[in-house]
Amino acid sequence: MKTEFKTKIQSIIDNKTKPLGSLGVLETIALQLAVIQNTDKPKVDAPFHTVFAGDHGICSQNVNAFPQEVSAQMVGNFLNQGAAINAFCDVQLIAMQVVNMGVKHFDENITHKMLINKPIAKGTEDFSQTQAMTEEQCKKALNIGHKLISLQIKEGANLISLGEMGIGNTTTAAALMAKITDLDVEQCTGMGTGSDAQGIKRKNEVIKQALVLHAEAKTGIEILQCLGGFEIAGMVGAILCCYENNTPVMIDGFIASAAALVAMQMQPESKQNMIFAHCSNENGHKKMLDFMQVTPLLDLGLRLGEGTGAVLAIPIVQSAASFLNNMASFDDAQVSNKDA
């Protein structure tokens, strides 16, 4: 039935008042949206953005250019509407929330309408020495992401975008990438928030050490537990929730794509709900996208995180839905088709 439905939607797209295929990638997105929502009139007019934040024990290995306190400071910046992601959401009037999954230096007594406090611990453990999370912690992080996004979908969100904050998480994402793709570690690591050559060398060393330590981890959830972060696990849970609820999900840059990579390991069919927003300037991202056989919508030289690229790409997705919903067919407009 899905094949028949795709054929039907493709026929609708092909018969719009335009040369065949002339809307390029927008046609691909329109078809994807229709299939995800199982309708020829997909709606993505109520996007919702979530930033998952967490700290990483691997920072004890001096792999981060910025001090770990910055994670908490940036959460405060989000709440004060001072970050790039706030500015981009404001332009499009997109509601957003920030989820504290385990930010080491964050004051958990702070309350704010945008803040969801769900700390699992004061950051993960050092995955070069032990598992990043216990099995219980990993499942709890997945469940938090799943439940929070499920709530937003129930409240009317029909397009989810994801971002993250966590000093050290480029090292974590690179470790997940190296483990799952089996690429050389050097192809997976990059400068992150500003590491120099020595910092990148240090990242490579600790990731290689971790891959030996966690060689027995095979399944998606085992790999996530051993090498992941609380905020990455939250995004994995969110992605799986979107799949289960027929909702498209915008995947941001390197860190969010690592979450997507894990989600595909856990549920391969979840890929069909993912829209990859942009190619990050982080060294390993293009290789990760190539491994997943996906093409991002934008390439703007971004490497900020927070979901900035995901939010920037939302109007493109909305435009794809709009042409499918509103553009006339040749018959409707009484315009002669090429083959008429």
Catalytic residues: 306
Q: Is the pLDDT of residue 260 over 50?
A: yes
Q: Rounded to two decimals, what is the model's pTM?
A: 0.96
Mean pLDDT, rounded, for 231-250:
98
Q: Which helix (H) or strand (E) holds 48?
A: strand 47-54
Q: Which of 18, 56, 308, 31 is nearest to 168 (CA)?
A: 56
State both tokens at 224.
């996530």
Residues 163, 51: contact at Cβ < 8 Å?
yes
State both tokens at 325.
């919903």
Residues 107, 89: contact at Cβ < 8 Å?
no
The dihedral built from the CA positions of residue 332, 338, 339 and 340, taken in this order, carries a sign that is positive
Residue ranges of the chain assigned to CATH 1.10.1610.10: 2-42+324-333
Check whether domain 2-42+324-333 has CATH 3.90.1150.10, yes or no:
no
Q: Is the pLDDT of residue 335 over 80?
A: no
Tens of pLDDT, residues 184-227: 999 999 765 566 777 788 899 999 999 999 999 999 999 999 99
Average pLDDT, the chain: 95
More confident: 304 or 198: 304
Q: Which helix (H) or strand (E) holds 102?
A: strand 95-102
173-190 burial string, b = 16+ CB within 10 Å, else e?
A: bbbbbbbbbebebbebbb
The CATH number of 47-316, from 3.40.640.10, 3.30.420.40, 3.40.50.10210, 3.20.20.220, is 3.40.50.10210
Tens of pLDDT, residues 64-117: 888 999 999 999 999 999 999 999 999 999 999 999 999 999 999 999 999 999
Residue ranges of the chain assigned to CATH 3.40.50.10210: 47-316
Q: Is the pLDDT of residue 340 over 50?
A: no
DSSP of 58-72: GGGGS--SS-THHHH
Q: Which of 272, 267, 214 is nearest to 236 (CA)?
A: 267
State both tokens at 5.
């439905």
Angle at CA 250, nearest 5°, toward 127 and 154?
A: 100
